[in-house]
Chain A
Amino acid sequence: DAKTTQPTSMDCAEGRAANLPCNHSTISGNEYVYWYRQIHSQGPQYIIHGLKNNETNEMASLIITEDRKSSTLILPHATLRDTAVYYCIVRVSGANSKLTFGKGITLSVRP
């Protein structure tokens, strides 16, 4: 699986957009980009995933660069409840797939 690199931490103001970057320069053509988050004392939660097109759901948007070497998770209007560790994972889609979680980025949303 391709390795991902994320900053250790970032913060943003409540109500503003949070843009979380992820580098995956060794990604191969059949690998997807997945984002999960983990709020303190809870299990990780799936957010979104994509292959090459930008994706949006009720939680977030995922922007993948044209060369697919990096991506950005966007939380359009961050709230205090979005404070969490966000994990960017690159993985081939398929049966019996396991996820490898790195250290993630800690997002702190301030009032």
Chain B
Amino acid sequence: DVKVTQSSRYLVKRTGEKVFLECVQDMDHENMFWYRQDPGLGLRLIYFSYDVKMKEKGDIPEGYSVSREKKERFSLILESASTNQTSMYLCASSLLHGGETQYFGPGTRLLVL
């Protein structure tokens, strides 16, 4: 079974802090994705990566950056957390060809105070 793990299920941070969300997949997938999910807005794509050191902006990249130094790991960085970044963050991975069949992690619920 594909396994996508995220470093934390719940996280509480203060405004202005730098926040790192880590995601690891164990199926040698090329594609990795970061989404956020908010009530009434559904899932929105923040960034994705189709190879090591490659990244592409999604629909809402502002306020975020990403890092993909190794194939299995994709990190989402909030340079200076703000209260409007309080959300559920979901990581996913997929094969390069067949990117619609994505495997999701359990999510990290981030609260920024």
Contact = CB atoms under 8 A, between A and B. Distances in A.
Contacts of A91: 100
B107 A98 contact: no
B54 to A, nearest CB: 10
Interface residues of B, number: 26
B45 A46 contact: no
B50 A46 contact: no
Nearest to B107: A43
B48 A32 contact: no
Given A34-B100, A44-B104, A95 B43 contact: no
Given A43-B106, A44-B104, A102 B98 contact: no
Interface of B: 4, 31, 33, 40, 42-43, 45, 48, 50, 56, 58, 90-92, 96-107
Contacts of B104: 43-45
Nearest to B31: A96
Contacts of B107: 41-43
Interface of A: 32, 34, 41-46, 49, 89, 91, 93-104
A46 B43 contact: no
Contacts, number: 59
A96 B97 CA distance: 7
Given A42-B106, A98-B45, A32 B97 contact: no
Nearest to B58: A98
B100 A43 contact: no
- Nearest first, the 9 closest Cβ-Cβ pairs linking A and B are A43-B104, A97-B99, A101-B43, A101-B42, A44-B104, A96-B50, A43-B90, A91-B100, A46-B101
A98 B104 CA distance: 13
Nearest to A93: B100
B90 A44 contact: yes
A101 B38 CA distance: 12
